[in-house]
Homo-oligomer: A and B are copies of this chain.
Amino acid sequence: MTTTPTDTQALSLPLSRAAKHADEQPISELIKMALDDPALISLAAGLVDFETLPGQSVAPIIRDILADPAGAKAALQYGTTEGFAVFRQQLYDHLCALDDAQTDVYPGSADDVVVTTGSQQLLNILAEVLLDADDIVIAGWPSYFVYTSTLTAYGATIRSVDLDEHGMVPEKLDRLLAGLSAAGQLHRVKFLYVVSYHQNPTGITLSAERRQQLLDIVKHYSAKAGHRIVLVEDAAYRELTYQGEAPPSIKSMDDNNQYVALCQTFSKPFAPGLKTGYGLLPSDLVEAVKLSKGGRDFGSSNFNMHIISRAMSSGAFAQHVGVLKRAYAAKIQATLDALEEHFTGIDGVSWTDPTGGLYVWLTLPEAVDTSRPGPLFGHAIKQGVLFVPGVYCYPNDPTRTAPTNTIRLAVGVPNPKQVREGIARLAQAVGQVLG
């Protein structure tokens, strides 16, 4: 037996290929910058509003759970991988209510609901169970960049489809798929990723008419592909609709519960600290997702599910959504007012007009390079405002080059006054760049 310790100081870790290919999110650097300089107004952070976190509403809920010995035991014990049945029924009923549907006509059932550690975990699992290396995912141009970088880490190639003010353009999706079909590449296309309400990063909501169109296109090319092309509908910002009626989910149009994986969360409409998301999935996808989740953690925090379950049944959740809508509506309005005040009349400038969510998308003249190494970013920091360069929000589509003149404005954290001041500072910086 040879057990002499050897000098192995210089030995490397045997990291897997997946670990070697993992990249840090570029936004991490921005988060550090904001933390390092509290005077900076951050229009970059994807956090939610601090002032409206529901401490007051969850306190009595938790007190009640823990005061009941049986309830306390149920909440503090291990749960099941998919979440407890009563909660999944509540979530299913909540989706029906959002879509103004009866449970007996709505796609799927509570059995098709899976609870996850935020919707990010569900999105990540969907990538794992649907993708092999060299598969293709179709996403918006731009799109939610944390997820598109996850897709790239899973080895997928992303092909992208433009958005206009009504969301992803169906004719362009059809053209892309027709081209892939003609090139014999349709077998590689595994899913379409759509953020259907108040999209991150643009704030754009997919119109009702286009929802059915996108689903029809997916079905049409599924038949050609010989497998279902899944439509992953990310509806994280759905409840945060401040203006008009939110359109029905694409899921509500998925008659036989076959095509659409609807992903939602309580992080945006309630509290990120409880880290609870959920999905309503085609039944055969539920099985695959549960197996993956079983290996990952065999179930998210049961305690947090019990808190949210009770918040839903007591009405505290619905009430809190009302509070959030008023608070965020004022921030989005402050953003639009300030853009109107400071950017009107500059040639080549435009911005989106979100009806909800946390984001406004600003397009500057092509000459203004908003990227991290470009001149605007530094001027903005000097003026005391931080933004996410839009170039980070375009997926890594090998056939396209991302524009460098856009900006994501995120208004979750700053109050309306700070939003107005931040945009005034941004206008100063843009003025300096335009000379």
Q: Which A residues fall within an 8 A CB radius of B?
A: 1-9, 11-19, 22-25, 46-48, 50, 53-56, 58-59, 62-63, 66-67, 69, 72-73, 75-79, 117-118, 120-121, 124, 128-132, 135, 146, 149-150, 153, 170-171, 174, 178, 190-191, 213, 216-217, 219-220, 222-223, 226-230, 256, 258, 267, 271-276, 282, 284-285, 288, 291-292, 294-304, 306
In this complex, the member of A129, A276, A296 whose beta carbon has the largest number of chain B beta carbons within 10 angstroms is A296
> Are B295 and A296 neighbours in the complex by a CB distance under 8 Å?
no
CB-CB under 8 A from A302, the residues of chain B are 272-273, 275
Residues of B within 8 A of A73 (CB): 50, 53, 55
Of B121, B216, B258, B273, the contact of A296 (CB 8 Å cutoff): B121
Chain B, Cβ-Cβ closest to A150: B295
Which B residues are in CB contact (< 8 Å) with A67? Answer: 59
**Chain B nearest CB: distance from A251 CB in Å?**
16
Chain B residue at minimal CB-CB distance from A298: B120
Give the Cβ gap from A107 to chain B, nearest Cβ, in Å.
Answer: 14
Chain B residues, CB < 8 A from A22 = 288, 291-292, 295
| Neighbouring B residues of A217 by C-beta, 8 Å | 3
Q: Complex formed: what's the CA distance from A249 to B223 in Å?
A: 57
The 6 closest A-B pairs by CB, nearest first: A55-B72, A19-B129, A76-B273, A6-B223, A22-B291, A273-B303
Determine if A5 and B128 form an interchain contact, defined as CB atoms under 8 angstroms apart. Answer: no
Check if A288 sits within 8 Å of B13, measured CB to CB. Answer: yes
Hey, which chain B residues are within 8 Å of A79, CB to CB? 273
**Do B295 and A124 have beta carbons less than 8 Å apart?**
yes
Give the residues in chain B near A150, CB-CB below 8 Å: 295
A220 in complex: contacting residue of B6, B129, B130, B135, CB < 8 Å: B6
Apart from A272-B302, A275-B303, what are 8 other A-B pairs with CB-CB below 8 Å?
Answer: A2-B178, A3-B213, A16-B130, A59-B62, A62-B63, A118-B297, A118-B298, A275-B301
Complex CA distance for A285 and B15, rounded to whole angstroms: 8
Chain B residues in 8 Å Cβ range of A23: 291
Closest to A288 in B: B19
User: Considering only CB atoms, which chain B residue lies closest to A120 in the complex?
Assistant: B297
In the bound complex, do residue A4 and residue B220 qualify as a contact, i.e. CB atoms below 8 Å apart? yes
Contact between B19 and A258 (Cβ–Cβ < 8 Å)?
Answer: no
The CA-CA distance from A220 to B63 in the complex, in Å, is 54
CB-CB nearest in chain B for A305: B273
Bound-state CA distance A222–B271 (Å) is 46
Please, which residue of chain B has its CB at the minimum distance from the CB of A59? B66
Which of B13, B273, B297 is within 8 Å of A78, CB to CB? B273
Is the beta-carbon distance between B58 and A19 smaller than 8 angstroms?
Answer: no
- Contact check, B14 vs A130: say whether CB atoms are below 8 A apart: yes
Partner of A222 from the list B8, B18, B47, B153 (CB cut-off 8 Å) is: B8
Question: In the complex, are the beta carbons of B174 and A223 less than 8 A apart?
Answer: no
CB <8 Å contact, A76 and B291: no
Q: Is the CB of A230 within 8 A of B14?
A: yes
Given A16-B131, A294-B25, decide whether A63 and B72 contact each other with a Cβ distance below 8 A. no
Known: A22-B288, A73-B50. A14 touches B227 (CB 8 A): yes
The residue that A76 contacts in the complex, of B55, B128, B303, with Cβ under 8 A, is: B55
Partner of A11, one of B19, B124, B227: B227
A155 to chain B, nearest CB (A): 10
A227 → B minimal CB distance (Å): 4
Contact A303 B300 (CB under 8 A): no
Q: What residues of chain B lie closer than 8 Å to A296, measured between beta carbons?
A: 117, 120-121, 124, 296
Of A5, A16, A117, A118, the most chain B CB neighbours within 10 A belong to A16
Query: A47 contacts B227, CB within 8 Å?
Result: no
Whether the pair B273, A297 counts as a contact (CB closer than 8 A) is: no
State the CA gap A275–B276 with chains docked (Å). 12
| Inter-chain contact A223/B288, CB cutoff 8 Å | no
* Distance in Å: Cβ of A192 to nearest Cβ of chain B: 12
Report the bound CA distance from A19 to B286 in whole Å: 11
